[in-house]
Structure 1
Amino acid sequence: MLKRFFLASLMVLSVAPAAWAQGQWPDKPVKFILSQPAGSGPDNVARLLGERLGKPWGQSVVIENKPGGQNTIGAQAAAKAPADGHSFYFATTAALVTNSYLFKQLPYDPQKDFVPVTFIARSPFGILVRADSPVRSVEDLIARSREMGGQFTLGNEGARTFGGMIARLFNARAKASANLIAYASNGASVQDLLGGHVQAIVADVASTAALVKQGRLRLLAVTAARPVPGFETVPRLADLLPGLDLVGWFALVAPTGTPQAVIDRVSQDVSMALSDPEIVQRMATLGPIAEPGWKPEQLGTFLREEHARWGSLAKEIGVLPE
């Protein structure tokens, strides 16, 4: 009797991966957990993908926003989510990489609590001023910051955020003297720029593209080394400051222990969605640049390389974890 029980157990274990692969997943709504609020750049992209993926999966994709704590609230929630193949973390650079160099203690482990699924998109940042600003170029901004010292203000989403790190690196490498003003969010910095309370900001292109196209903000430069679709004529910081390629990104990861067959299926389906011309076009209007075709192991290698790169950059500007 006992022997038959063990044989039956082994059969169930051997059949389980095949069952996942044969489409018995998902059997309930799939959850994408985000560390950003509704209406943010990552949220817009996640909802666009969720809308497309819900059709082949036969289940709705629920977007669960858990903003706050500089990504730690959402990341912790995702790390503790059931590893049953129905919960994923729609993560950003800050959550998976740069937070490791900004905080002495995190309520989650970026490298141990998650397994890679697939890359989603790159999200370039930019340096922006009001459309009526006398600052017409990055060179002009650098010169004015030196002349004015602490009187020239450069806003960002927070000292210990990806945007804040970009602002510090820009100041250091350009030998600028901008007074870095930290905000609680990109949205708050944008509103203060529009209101004339700061003279320039560092913000992601996705959240500011509409205001640039409306003629309310001027994009002086992008932080990507490659041209940004829709803003091909905008100067790149890398042309002025060689090697400065600071691009945010979105990636999908899952709680450690999630079945590999599900991870492979989701990775494949997301890549197919990102290859759809309609999705590419719609995403381009939001700002991020889709990058389909990433396998889980490729994302794993990329994350390790990003940790090494940002560890070096953190030392360069003297960032100490707090």
Structure 2
Amino acid sequence: MQRRTFNLAAGALGAASLLRTGFTAAQDTWPSKPIKVVLSQPAGSGPDNIARVLGDGLAQALGQPLVIDNKPGGQNVIGAQTAARSPGDGYTLYFATTAALVTNSYLFKTLPYDPLKDFVPVAFVANSPFAVLVRADSPITSLQDLVARSKQDPGKLSLANEGPRTFGGMIARVINARTKAQANLVAYSSVGVALQDIMGGHAQAVVADLASTAQLAKQGRLRVLAVTTAKRVPGWEQVPTVSETLPGLEMTGWMAMVAPAGTPQPVIARLNAEINKLLANPGVADKILGIGPIPAPGGSPKDFDTFLQDEHKRLGQFAAEIGLLPE
């Protein structure tokens, strides 16, 4: 009886050892085929360009190509749903934005994916500042000036944005609410259309992401009144932050790499390490800055998870402040 018990125990230990060996071997051979990176934005967009910069660097580091799979539409829902329903085997990643992982929680009563449960954090990649801008020859020279002029002639000063249920629209509404400004918030179908009206003198100011407007500002055609980051933006140090006028008002877009839930931890750790190396590479950082966003300083998956939880609380408070209700 004792000998049989010993033999059974030895057999069980041997099987467990084989399972562990097989699992370790599987991890050691990852990646053994191309890795798909799903995006919710179209080809040529800011997130797409940054994902391709990272993809090139990761392909060299991992020895396998990263294939960008653009799934635009549905306010990021299509891409997020596609990634969330993919197997957590290390061969599908999702290059996510604030909208997909946070803002959509306050815009939709129901989502076909769970922003917090269907993904695991990999790495924080970049911040995408928003800005308040006017035409370069505008008499408005500061955010305080814009607010004062809107109060002098209520409803006459147009503050363009992409709509009340977009990030830029939320920022415009929070500014209007906190300053008791009387700006007329005008929704446009895109930043490009809004900028056309700004340049044509049909609107006086716009809230838009800095990446989309930086070139016009550098050409001297737009004036940046304020940025929405906590600190002044590298390369734009002369531009004050919105929070210097309205303490606590910090709202930036951002981009991060996540993976479907269930992705093995060793895979997550390897990806995090390689992405952090890329972000610390001056050549890669300069490419990201050239696109517009600010490269992240690096950090662990846990760091990004903590940041994500904080973002949900903060943006939830902003949504409540402006009366934004899910539909």
Q: Please, what TM-score do these two structures have when normalized by structure 2? A: 0.91
Give the one of 194, 197, 202 matched to 2:207: 202
> Aligned to 2:88, what secondary structure does the other structure show?
coil
**For each residue in 1:154-213, what CA deviation from the matched residue of structure 2 results, as whole angstroms up to 9, or x when unmatched?**
122232122221111111112112222223333333333334332211111112111111
Residue 237 (str. 1) matches residue 245 (str. 2): no
Give the one of 250, 256, 267 matched to 1:251: 256
Q: Counterpart of 1:15 in structure 2: which amino acid?
A: T
State the 1:90 CA deviation: 0.9
Change (3 A) 1:128 1:16: farther
Give the one of 18, 26, 44 matched to 2:24: 18
Contact 2:71 2:79 in 1 (8 A): yes
- Listed as ranges, the gaps of 5+ residues in structure 2 are 1-7
CA distance in 1, matches of 2:234, 2:285: 11
Change (3 A) 1:200 1:20: farther
Report the RMSD for the aligned CA atoms in angstroms: 2.2
Contact 1:37 1:67 in 2 (8 A): yes
Give the one of 288, 300, 307 matched to 2:293: 288
**For each residue in 1:17-58, what CA deviation from the matched residue of structure 2 results, as whole angstroms up to 9, or x when unmatched?**
423543x12222212211122222212211111111111111
CA distance in 2, matches of 1:295, 1:209: 30
Contact 1:272 1:292 in 2 (8 A): no
Change (3 A) 1:28 1:141: same
> Aligned to 1:301, what secondary structure does the other structure show?
helix
Contact 1:125 1:202 in 2 (8 A): yes
Contact 1:119 1:251 in 2 (8 A): yes
Corresponding residue for 2:163?
Answer: 158
> Aligned to 2:75, what secondary structure does the other structure show?
helix
Change (3 A) 1:11 1:195: farther
State the 1:148 CA deviation: 3.0
CA distance in 2, matches of 1:12, 1:192: 67
Change (3 A) 1:156 1:83: same
Give the one of 134, 146, 151 matched to 1:141: 146
Contact 2:128 2:253 in 1 (8 A): yes
Q: How does 1:24-43 map to 2 (within 5 A)?
A: 24-43=29-48
State the 1:16 CA deviation: 4.6
Change (3 A) 1:9 1:302: farther
Task: Using the TM superposition, name which of 189-198 and 230-239 deviates more.
Answer: 189-198
Q: Counterpart of 1:297 in structure 2: which amino acid?
A: K
State the 1:263 CA deviation: 0.9
Contact 2:59 2:66 in 1 (8 A): yes
Which of structure 1's runs of 4+ aligned residues deviate more than 4 A? 2-9
Corresponding residue for 2:5?
Answer: none
CA distance in 2, matches of 1:129, 1:301: 35
CA distance in 1, matches of 2:215, 2:197: 17
Change (3 A) 1:295 1:90: same
- Listed as ranges, the gaps of 5+ residues in structure 1 are none
> Aligned to 1:108, what secondary structure does the other structure show?
coil
Give the one of 97, 105, 117 matched to 2:122: 117
> Aligned to 1:170, what secondary structure does the other structure show?
helix
Q: Counterpart of 1:301 in structure 2: which amino acid?
A: T
Give the one of 83, 86, 101 matched to 2:91: 86
CA distance in 1, matches of 2:20, 2:304: 27
State the 1:278 CA deviation: 0.9
Residue 299 (str. 1) matches residue 304 (str. 2): yes
Corresponding residue for 2:108?
Answer: 103
Calculate percent identity across the aligned residue pairs: 58
Contact 2:125 2:298 in 1 (8 A): no
Residue 69 (str. 1) matches residue 71 (str. 2): no
Q: How does 1:166-205 map to 2 (within 5 A)?
A: 166-205=171-210
> Aligned to 1:198, what secondary structure does the other structure show?
coil
Contact 1:66 1:74 in 2 (8 A): yes
Please say which structure displays the higher CA radius of gyration.
2
Task: Using the TM superposition, name which of 194-203 and 66-75 deviates more.
Answer: 194-203
**For each residue in 1:247-281, what CA deviation from the matched residue of structure 2 results, as whole angstroms up to 9, or x when unmatched?**
21111111111111111111111011001011112
Contact 1:209 1:286 in 2 (8 A): no
CA distance in 2, matches of 1:157, 1:12: 57
> Aligned to 1:27, what secondary structure does the other structure show?
coil
Give the one of 212, 215, 218 matched to 1:213: 218
CA distance in 2, matches of 1:317, 1:131: 30
Residue 312 (str. 1) matches residue 310 (str. 2): no
Q: Please, what TM-score do these two structures have when normalized by structure 1? A: 0.92
CA distance in 2, matches of 1:316, 1:4: 64
CA distance in 2, matches of 1:8, 1:196: 77
Aligned residue pairs, count? 320
Q: Counterpart of 1:165 in structure 2: which amino acid?
A: M
**For each residue in 1:200-227, what CA deviation from the matched residue of structure 2 results, as whole angstroms up to 9, or x when unmatched?**
1111111211111111211111011201
> Aligned to 1:74, what secondary structure does the other structure show?
helix
